[in-house]
Amino acid sequence: MYDVVIIGAGVTGCAIARELSRYKLNILVLEREEDVCCGTSKANSAIIHAGHDAAFGTLKAKMNVAGNAMMDELAKDLDFPFVRNGSLVLCFDEDQLPQLQELLERGRQNGVPGLRIVTGPEMKEIEPAISDEVKAFLFCPTGGIVCPFNMTVAYAENACENGVSFRFHTNVSDIRPLPDCDCWQILSDAGETFETRCIVNAAGVYADVFNNMVSSRKLTITPRRGEYQLLDKKAGSIVSHTIFQLPGKLGKGILVTPTVHGNLLVGPTAENLSDKEALNTTQAGLDEVMTKGRLSVPSLPSNLTITSFAGLRASEAGKDFVLGEAEDAPGFFNCAGIESPGLSSAPAIAVWLAGRISEKLQAPKKENFVKTRRGIPCVAQASPEQLKELLSLDPSYSNVICRCETVTEGEIVNAIRRPLGARSLDGIKRRTRAGMGRCQAGFCSPKVMEILERELSMNPLSVSKSGPGSELLTQTTRAPHTTSGGKQNETI
């Protein structure tokens, strides 16, 4: 019998797990994929929003502003990259200036500090690359950028260190109340059964499915596909701020932003779908990304695109986050409809929800909670002194495996051996950036595969890109070779 089972190991689920691990509770996280950060959390804009967009009084507004304010301390405690680069919301038409003013007033009402509208020559002083057609912009100094992979992994690793259990490849098929007690039974596709006093539904685009199993208040989540283009680091310094366009009915439009790793990101589109698995990109979508992106930054170079990708946002029909205990399902806590600004809001959502669950279970706080976590040393960003120290501890930090991102064997081995360590190429990529550079894993994949084989004693045929079903090799071949004595042997 668990105290809490969390369904979903995205950024919100892992953040809640970490906050609940402050208490004396037996906690389990169930995830259908092979790793944390495999859903919405792996394919988003990596933006920490200032908090001016959501309507005053909504959960989105409250959690966004509170989550934004927590980011500096969290990034320090959990050792993940975060930069307050500030954001701009561009207005291209003088007729839209009242909308910009409305956004300013809403932001101030929400409690966002430092907002102001900028016009005239000062606009180009702040961000020289923006279009000459811009009439004014809203300047938001508290906006930021983050690495969503590292943020999610950091939450999960810290939760694990504080006693939270994780089960991957576990697809929840049913949830039932247990008779004669205020508890729940969770069933998986594989026939496993888990019993728990409380459930946290953090299942992203599938959160409506689980809510509707237990509650008469039905939710409807529409997957909203967003397509992106990621540009090479040569384009990373074109802009220094995150640049939005005035929001429309389907979201904040196409943004242009630097990333914490030095690339430039453009996107997303916004397309409502019925398929909760539709992660393909389209030519029309990618054309739209670049065309609309150039309205903000005319100098965007499409020839420097190194990859494109799509993500799904969980858009709930009520247009707000759905948080808290279902009225007719005691012990079932929703964390549903977590679309933008979900990444920004995750820290505040976690604190809010963990407080309510711990209160319900009357759980005391631990005396030995470990709030800090150290990430994988990054050779590419290490000073000469830090590099010397790393090499004295482990010479494998001198063996560069991914040339584009300067990722070494030592970093990859560290990623595998850590709590909740990587088990696939994508798992390595999320933790170290091996394969995220200009060649998109064209050169480093074989070496990373060899390291996974060695460290995990894997059969070469079981090494995968992202878990079962994505194995990279289909067969071994045998070729004769001649020994020094002239005898022929067979090698695999």
Nearest to 20 by CA among 324, 353, 347: 353
- For 408, the token pair is 């070494």
Q: Please name the residue ranges forming H helices in 315-444.
A: 342-360, 384-393, 409-417, 425-432
- For 428, the token pair is 């390595």
Helix axes 342-360, 11-20, angle to 10 degrees: 40
- C-alpha span between 201 and 23 (Å, rounded): 19
- C-alpha span between 239 and 85 (Å, rounded): 10
- Is residue 241 a contact partner of residue 86, using CB atoms and an 8 Å limit? yes
| Distance (Å) of CA 127 to CA 84, 87, 139, 240, 331 | 15, 10, 11, 7, 49
| Distance (Å) of CA 207 to CA 66, 318, 332 | 23, 14, 12
| Distance (Å) of CA 7 to CA 13, 173, 205, 213, 388 | 7, 11, 12, 14, 43
Q: Compute the half-sphere exposure of residue 264: CA atoms within 13 Å on the CB side of its CA.
A: 27
The residues annotated as belonging to the active site are: 49
- Is residue 369 a contact partner of residue 17, using CB atoms and an 8 Å limit? no
Q: Compute the half-sphere exposure of residue 117: CA atoms within 13 Å on the CB side of its CA.
A: 19
Nearest to 112 by CA among 68, 176, 81: 68
- C-alpha span between 432 and 375 (Å, rounded): 10
Q: Is 387 helix (H, G, I), strand (E, B) or coil?
A: helix
Nearest to 373 by CA among 1, 3, 14, 12: 14
